[in-house]
Structure 1
Amino acid sequence: MLLSKDRHIAHFDLDAFFVSVETLRNPKFRGKPLLVGGGSDRGVVAACSYEARKFGIHSAMPMKIARRLCPEAIVVRSDMEAYSKYSHLVTAVIKDTVPVFEKASIDEFYIDLTGMDKFFGCLQFTDQLKKKINKESGLPISWGLASNKLISKVATNEVKPNGQLEIPFGNEKSFLAPLSVIKIPGVGKETGYKLLKMGVETVKVLSEIPMEMMENLLGKSGIDLWRKANGIDETPVVPYHEQKSISTESTFQTDTIDTHFLHSQLVRMTEEIAFQLRQQSKLTGCVTVKVRYSNFETFTKQITIPYTNADHVLLQTAKELFNKLYERRLLIRLLGIRFTHLIPGNYQISLFEDTQEMIKLYQAIDSVKKRFGEKTLIRAVGIGGV
């Protein structure tokens, strides 16, 4: 295992990604308070410009409240197709330039530059990569460079927008010390409130609390938090592979041409792996449907889509692919569906253009499935043949 002093990890984060894409497409938005998300008052804010943030607006806020805080804000309906396109573009630039990288979300990357300091110098290389991304995509991006993923991410957050910061090995604790505890990745509102209530406001104070006490207070997560406060993180950069997938298929007991039955099976399978996507906090950017006929000939059809993990989007896509694929009207013995181009992401981010009611509905459905089993709640059309 490499020592921390031998590791060089860069964290790249596209600044206000959705807003930046909209501004790139329409320069008149530059410098204005811009909100991206659902168009109606029932929608939620997916992203907001730095100008809008000055009014106290933040992502996931109900659009109605955001408009009340800043009546002059410009509201743009989200375009996930465009955001996915630019995400793929930036990913391609990074993939062609660096040896190992991890795509942490649609707009966030970790890059392992360990060993490259012997040849180019990691600081110079990271700076050149930033310029290359900006030149080829037109998007602003910030980066942090440190001995581990934790410190590089916090460094990036401290210099956004359009900033860059290197934290040399040995300076991790002194860098973190004056920061608020809520700036530690993974510290949510509940934990942050508990720490602040105890008088623990800075990372320095948090780092000085004995690990045993942290464990008694927060369980295993307390130990993890103590390690973070002390700048310790051995988490590896997980290489990004486009072809990671979640899939399922079904071979029927009797070959069939019953389209109602086939559609019901497609709905059932799509719901099943879409739920798995959300459980793993992932989004898919590509859907593939497979059909095997009674003569064992197998055909597939796939389509690249805006990143999502929403049933209603994936079901519509799967049905359209099946209808294009099933033209021969022969008996079918197997039907399958696969999601690829997976990246980390959650429901609130991927479905921000929907209403709060839609988001709450999906959260309630997933809560029931998680508690009682994923087959306890399915669409009626998916019951056929089960």
Structure 2
Amino acid sequence: MERAIVHMDLDTFFVSCERLNNSKLSGVPVIIGGGERGVVASCSYEARYYGVRSAMPIKMALKLCPEAKVIKGDMEMYSKLSRTVTEIIEEKAPVVEKASIDEHYLDITGMDKFFGAYQWTEELSTAITKHTGLPISFALSVNKTVAKIGTGEAKPKGKKEIQQMGVRSFLNPLSIKKIPMLGDATFQLLSRIGIRQIYTLAEMPVEVLQQMIGKNGREIWKKANGIDHSPVEPYSERKSISTEHTFGMDTIDIPKLRGLITGMVEKLAYQLRAEQWLTSTVVLKIRYSNFDTETKQCRVSYTSADHTLSQTVMELFDKLYNRRMRIRLIGVRFTNLVRGSLQINIFEDTQEMVSLYQAMDKIKNRFGADKVGRASGFRFENKKNR
């Protein structure tokens, strides 16, 4: 049986949410982001016309489009509307995967026995827009890769169906930039040897591609040929991430405790970014030598940035640790998670700060999460590992 996979993507989601609250923003250039030294989190199609793009410094974006309206952004509102859309889809579709705050995959294989899969998807997208007021695009195809690329080509407010027999003819003329997983570095490498269209990449010997770009070469070659057997993973929202440390000997060493907390926060924040989560609630837990356990929590703006989370946890530690007793265990937990990434959702960080985190995460991805971090977070770890 031929698979029927749908990719649904809310159009300029952050901007669309803001326009629900303020109709005066409709039809004008809008930039979501924070501060003159911040970066563009999202922008309207009117702003894109002038060359504005996500992750661009706000200052540069305003030079390109001086009349743009800049809005800081409200992650809590976006998350609430995202959950509403997810609930509508889950109520109708048999298998749903929430890929990000504004994207969903649906597996509706076999539903065409009862009614047309395309018509069913069209009716669902209409229901989402009617209920929420949010514009949405979708594509129906035989796998996740082709469906996602199809949605990109259908935007804005578009719909597309790519059947098995038409997959190659649909993909062939497109830029290799359209392939999921193919980043800027790989694009530049392939462009230098004249490979710019998916057709050329698909005809390339897979062994040569593997030699050029490594283990991902085969996966990229498969995607260029419209091959993707990955399943739609049923959606389940993660509630929290946490870590704890129990001391071999109870301690009252404050510098040691602060260093450990810094290291714990850095590792959890890296995990948030790696899995594309943002947290809005920070919890600190202390267990004393007499086994009394106390916790304290604090709400923060949605983030996955070490420096923001570390400052909050340290403030909690100063408020919570007032007995001056020896500590047996310390723990940190981030909860109330939503989907999102540092690059597009940290509204108040500067371009330099975002670039710093991206560079650190690249090192961690390649060499391990414990290979780079703040010096204060390494002190206790180094003593512990000796």
Q: Quote the offset at 1:204 in angstroms.
A: 2.3
RMSD: 3.3
1:88 is the counterpart of 2:72 = no
Q: 1:278 offset after TM fit, Å?
A: 2.8
What residue is the counterpart of 1:14 in the other structure? 10
SS in 2 for 1:223: helix
Offset at 1:46? 1.3
2:39 maps to which of 30, 41, 44: 44
What count of residue pairs does the alignment treat as equivalent? 381
Could you tell me the TM-score, scaled by structure 1's length? 0.84
Aligned pairs for 1:130-141 within 5 A: 130-141=125-136
d(CA) in 2 for partners of 1:328, 1:240? 44
1:24 and 2:26 correspond: no
Q: 1:327 and 1:128, CA in 2 relative to 1: closer, same or farther beyond 3 A? A: farther
Identity %: 52
Asked whether the equivalents of residues 242 and 341 of structure 1 are also in contact (C-alpha less than 8 Å), the reply is no
Mapped contact 2:42–2:344 kept (Cα < 8 A): no
* CA distance 1:202–1:332, shift in 2 (3 Å): same
Aligned to 1:248: 243
Which range is displaced more, 109-118 or 26-35?
A: 109-118
Query: Residues of 2 paired with 1:345 and 1:83: CA distance?
Result: 10
The one-letter amino acid paired with 1:109 is: H
* Alpha-carbon distance in 1 for matches of 2:144, 2:301: 28
Q: SS of the counterpart of 1:22?
A: helix
Q: Of 30, 35, 41, which residue of structure 2 is paired with 1:34? A: 30
CA distance in 1, matches of 2:83, 2:298: 15
- Give the whole-Å Cα distance in 2 for the aligned partners of 1:132 and 1:38: 33
Whole-Å separation in 1 of the counterparts to 2:87 and 2:181:
28
Deviates more, 1:48-57 or 1:337-346: 337-346
8 Å CA contact 1:84–1:306 kept in 2: the answer is no
5 Å matches for 1:274-353? 274-284=269-279, 287-292=282-287, 296=291, 307-318=302-313, 333-340=328-335, 345-353=340-348
Q: Does 1:377 align with 2:373?
A: yes
Structure 1 unmatched ranges of 5 or more: none
Q: After the TM superposition, which of the residue ranges 376-385 and 23-32 deviates more from structure 2? A: 376-385
Moved more, 49-58 or 74-83: 74-83
Which 10-residue stretch deviates more, 171-180 or 368-377? 368-377
Question: Structure 1 residues 318, 117: closer, same or farther in 2, change over 3 A?
Answer: farther
SS of the residue 2:344 aligns to: helix
Conservation of the 8 A alpha-carbon contact between 2:279 and 2:304: yes
What corresponds to 1:203 in structure 2? 198
**Distance across 1 between alignment mates of 2:6 and 2:72:** 32
1:171-197 Cα shifts (integer Å, max 9, x gaps): 211211222222222222333233334
| 1:150 aligns to 2:156 (yes or no) | no
C-alpha offsets along residues 316-364 of structure 1, whole Å, 9 cap, x if unaligned?
5545766887799987533322335656643212324311122233345
Name the residue aligned to 1:163.
Answer: 158
Aligned-partner SS, 1:170: helix
- Counterpart code for 1:150: T
1:298-318 C-alpha deviation (Å, 9 max, x unpaired): 666667765431113333554
1:16–1:315 Cα change, 3 Å? same
Could you say if the C-alpha distance between residues 127 and 190 of structure 1 is closer, same or farther in structure 2, counting changes exceeding 3 Å?
Answer: same
Letter matched to residue 18 of structure 2: E
**Contact (CA 8 Å) 1:47, 1:58: kept in 2 or not?**
yes
Once the two structures are overlaid, the 10-residue window that deviates more, 206-215 or 263-272, is 263-272
Q: 1:263 to 1:89 in 2, by over 3 A?
A: farther
- Partner residue of 2:172? 177
Q: Which residue of 2 aligns with 1:234?
A: 229
Give the superposition deviation at 1:160.
0.8
Cα deviation for residue 105 of structure 1 reads 1.5
2:184 partner letter: K
User: In the alignment, is the contact (CA less than 8 A) between 1:44 and 1:356 conserved in 2?
Assistant: yes
In structure 1, C-alpha distance between the alignment counterparts of 2:135 and 2:341, rounded to whole Å? 23
Query: Is the contact made by 1:110 and 1:237 (CA closer than 8 Å) also made in structure 2?
Result: yes
The CA distance in 1 between the partners of 2:197 and 2:69, in whole Å, is 36
Q: Report the secondary structure of 2:67's partner residue.
A: coil
Whole-Å separation in 1 of the counterparts to 2:371 and 2:187:
36
More deviation in 47-56 or 100-109?
100-109
Secondary structure of residue in 2 paired with 1:154:
helix
Unaligned runs of 5+ in 2: none
